[in-house]
Structure 1
Amino acid sequence: MLDRIPNDKVIDLRRRAAEYFQKAAWNQLLALDNYRENNLLAAERFAQLSFEDQMNAVECAELADAEADLMLELEIVEES
C-alpha cells in the first residue's frame, strides 16, 4: 500500500502537467485568433496566459521527475 502513494503522486503531477500544457495550447490558439483579428490586447493576454500555463506545466513535470528519482533512490537503498 505504501508503494502506491508515491506512484499516485507522480501520476497526479504528470496529469497536472498535461492539463497545463493543454491549457497553454488552447490559450496560444486564442492568442493567434485574436492577433489575426487585430485584437492585440486580447492576443497579448492569451499569449501571457499560455506562457504562464507552460511554466506551470514544466514545474509539475519537473516535480514528477524529482519524485520518481527519489522513489528510485529509495528502492536502491532498501535493496542494499
Structure 2
Amino acid sequence: MTDQHLNDKVINFRRMAAEYFQKAAWNQLLALDNYRENNFEVAERFAQLSFDDQMNAVEYAELADAESGLLLDLELLEES
C-alpha cells in the first residue's frame, strides 16, 4: 500500500514537472516571436513566465527524485 502511494506521488510529481516544462517551452517560443516582432515588453513578460515555469518544473522534478529515493530506501529496508 505504501509503495503504491509513493509510486503515485512520484508519477504525479513527474507529470507536473513535464507540464511545467511544456509551458516553459511555449512561453519561450512566444517570447522569441515577440522579440522578432520588436514587441519587447511582451517578449520580456513571456520570457519571465518561461523562467518561472522552468523553476516550478525543476522543483517538481526534485520532489519526484526525493520520493523515488524514499521508495528505494523502503524497498531496501524491506529486503533486509
Q: Which runs of 5+ in 2 are unaligned?
A: none
What's the TM-score once normalised by structure 1's chain length?
A: 0.96
Name the count of aligned residue pairs.
Answer: 80
What's the TM-score once normalised by structure 2's chain length?
A: 0.96
Q: C-alpha root-mean-square deviation of aligned residues, in Å?
A: 0.7
Q: How far apart, CA to CA, are the structure 2 residues paired with 1:58 and 1:43?
A: 23
Q: Which runs of 5+ in 1 are unaligned?
A: none
Aligned pairs (5 A) from 1:58-73: 58-73=58-73
Partner of 2:11: 11
Partner of 1:20: 20
Partner of 1:46: 46
CA contact (8 A) 2:3 2:71 kept: no
Q: How far apart, CA to CA, are the structure 1 residues paired with 2:28 and 2:53?
A: 10
